[in-house]
Structure 1
Amino acid sequence: MENGLIKQKMKFGYWEPLEFIAALTMTAKAEYIPGIAREIQFIPDQQFSEMLEQVHARLSPHIKREMSRYFGKSMIYDRLDAVLSQVFYDDDEVETAEAYLARYQEQDALLLAAMLAESMYAHETPDWRGEHPFAEVSRKRELLVSLVQSRLLADEEYHAELLEAATFPEEFKQRTLLLLQAFLEHGFTPLRDQLGQLGREGAAAFEDYFLAEPEKAFREIANSGPELIAKPTRVHVSYISQIRVDFRYFNEKDHPSWLILGHRNHALALQREDKGTVEQFLKVISDKRRLEIIALLKQGNRYGGELAHLLSLTPAAINYHTNLLIDLGLIRITRADNRIYYVLDRDRLGSFMDLSKDMLLR
């Protein structure tokens, strides 16, 4: 995909309702995150871990029990998290967490219960409705209850909770609404500004990366190819999710697709590199001249002649050192004003430092 098409079809940004849902989901599943991180060999940010600890400390025992009840143990959005996401995608113009909650409150209770069933059966019994369209199931409580009773889930506890929601949809709606309101006040609001800043910074960095190296960016950050983007797509970068790729395509012509990316997807791609790559990184930055180049690029983009002048080196020497840094992805090149500029990839440098620290100290 060419840069022009990326600019035309991909809108990078930060959407607060999506981060609210992600923050609630990650908080609800916090106890499972360390095990999942070990399984995929990923090191979450210390700042991220501290955020979750702070949120947990502010929530009441009752709200924590409700979160445990309505969210699953995996990072797949397949319970209340899936319902919350669908409510947003059905009205993706809401801009704040408060507006999103108001939208949730307007939802028909039986529709929410049917959406919960749809998400929970998706991976086990996708044909759970039989010949009945979703629109019919979401309007007839007796039909929904009958279908849930006859389609057992592998997890008996999950099935019992789903049957309760189907049988008492108004109670399900009120309990989940209370949960959302409490989390907004005590969990999300104290982090709102920080998450917003991190999300916008991540969106800007990802946009630059996709524009500079689209094929590589799709492969490393989105685990896909450019062909994924077949229509206008909004790209939300979530800090609190850390690692995530969630693509939603909608058939409606005027409904944009959505791509949700974790703020540290790039770091995961890096952390999966083998030990030899880390050894090469340490060898490359052990040279004084290359450290000086990195220091200069931290201040801003430079072209080869500038670096040669500032470091009193020949253009050939600059080319030698920058090629080593380019090979590791620590810097990349871009064109402006008919010159080739070198650009420091701060995220990749930081990820290499974190990975080196982990390998040396663990």
Structure 2
Amino acid sequence: MKPSITPLISLPMEFLYSLYALGTDKGFVEMIRAFGLEPSAEMTDMLQKMKKPLSRYIEQETTYFFDAGGLGFILYKYIVHNPALNKVNEIIELVQKDDSDKFLSKIMDSVCKNTLPAKESPEYKAIFGDRAKLLQLVNETKFQDESRKTRVIETVQNPEEIKQRFALLLGRFYAAAFEPVEAEILKSIDTAKSKYDAILKETPELFMSRYLNTDSLKNHPAGYILHLSLFKYVSCHAYSSYQDHVKDWFVLGIYTDQLFNESALAERQAHFFKVLSDVNRISMIRLLSERPWFGQELAEALNISPPTVSYHIGFLQQIGAVSFKRIDNRIYYELDRDKLLKPLQDYLKSF
């Protein structure tokens, strides 16, 4: 039985990725260029149009929460667990309704996933009632980006203030930047959607292998949601709900098909070695050669942020070296040795 994959255009998920695109600023463009692509004129115009009405304060807050060291990606937790809510304001209301302790727990669950006690255990509840213990836990956690650690500490010390700032940012960014271009964003995604829908329907195995980077996507009791994204732009990222009754998500950039344009053998080989010419990616391959790892584990083992893990995994997926695998309600990354070794073997045969 093939896995159930439901194509969906999720405005809240697109809202999240638009925040990331503007929050990282030049980093977003560099990410696209690292895949050997240039941002389209449509994307460049869209970013400028969205940035123009933002106040200096909201620009600063967008950077604070959504640059490489930011904590804003916890917004995905609200989205993944509430797939029926497809209006951005509905998700923003969920954030606003969360009390500061729940908001803080979402951040700590993301940052210290492997060092926190089991969720809902007496030890877990006790640590969230003790700011000193939480600060100690943060200080014992490795951070590659000191600004990220600083922001986690600020949240532990002032959870209500940080939550209010985050909620204010979401509301103001939506009203000033996202909502005015919402129809344009939907049109761009919808134009690309028919192409990907056709491939998924006609050749699902090819779609999963090429675009979702998995040859063995196991049946998830609730199934999977596939969101096509303008602001993800290129490559694919997976989000696990960690629950059997809630769907897992794939977010696929609408320009990902450009990665599979036919090119000369020499160019493909050059790109293959370029992908491997990064210390973090080599380290990931070494770890994944031992066993499958999930994103937070890799982040902690390599002392980098989860968004940075996603960034580098995207390149390894592009050359087919890494695929997704669902184990125990989590999305794991798994090394595909055959696809990693074949380009090396072909390269050697050419001599």
TM surpasses 0.5: yes
User: Which range moved further: 12-21 or 200-209?
Assistant: 200-209
The amino acid across from 1:140 in the alignment is G
Q: Secondary structure, in 3 states, of the residue corresponding to 1:58?
A: coil
Unaligned runs of 5+ in 1: 279-362
Provide the residue aligned with 2:285 in structure 1.
Answer: none
Q: Which moved more, 1:37-46 or 1:138-147?
A: 138-147
Aligned to 1:69: 64
| Counterpart for residue 180 of structure 1 | 170
Matches within 5 A, 1:233-272: 233-270=224-261
Q: Figure out how many residues of one structure are paired with residues of the other and give that number.
A: 263
Q: Which residue number corresponds to residue 358 of structure 1?
A: none
Report deviation, 1:169.
0.2
Distance 1:64 1:103, change over 3 A: same
Aligned residue runs from structure 1 range 1-362, under 5 A: 5=2, 9-73=4-68, 79-121=70-112, 127-129=114-116, 131=117, 133=119, 136=125, 139-142=128-131, 143-225=133-215, 227-228=217-218, 230-231=220-221, 232-270=223-261, 273-274=263-264
Equivalent-residue separation in structure 2 for 1:150 and 1:192 (angstroms): 42
What fraction of aligned residue pairs are identical, expressed as a percent? Answer: 17
Contact kept, 8 Å, 1:239 with 1:263, in 2: the verdict is yes
DSSP 3-state at the match of 1:259? strand
Assess if the C-alpha contact under 8 Å between 1:242 and 1:262 holds in 2.
Answer: yes
Q: Aligned in 2, Cα 1:213/1:114: closer, same or farther, shift over 3 Å?
A: same
Deviation at 1:72, TM superposition (A): 3.0
* Contact 2:6–2:225 (8 Å) recurs in 1: yes
1:82–1:116 contact (8 Å) kept in structure 2:
no
Aligned AA for 2:11?
A: E
Q: Deviations over 1:142-181 (max 9, x none)?
A: 2323322443523222211210111100000011111111
With normalisation by structure 1, the TM-score equals 0.66
**Secondary structure in 1 aligned to 2:48?**
helix
Contact persistence 1:220–1:265 (CA under 8 A): no
The equivalent of 1:351 in structure 2 is none
Which secondary structure does the structure 2 equivalent of 1:207 belong to?
helix
Partner amino acid, structure 2, of 1:21: L
Write the deviation string for residues 130-152 of structure 1: whole angstroms up to 9, x where unpaired: x4647527842523233224435
Shift in Å at residue 255 of structure 1? 1.2
Structure 2, gaps ≥5 residues long: 269-351
How many Å separate the matches in 2 of 1:274 and 1:205? 25
CA–CA separation in structure 2 for the residues paired with 1:159 and 1:250:
25
Distance change in 2, residues 1:251/1:127 (3 Å)? closer
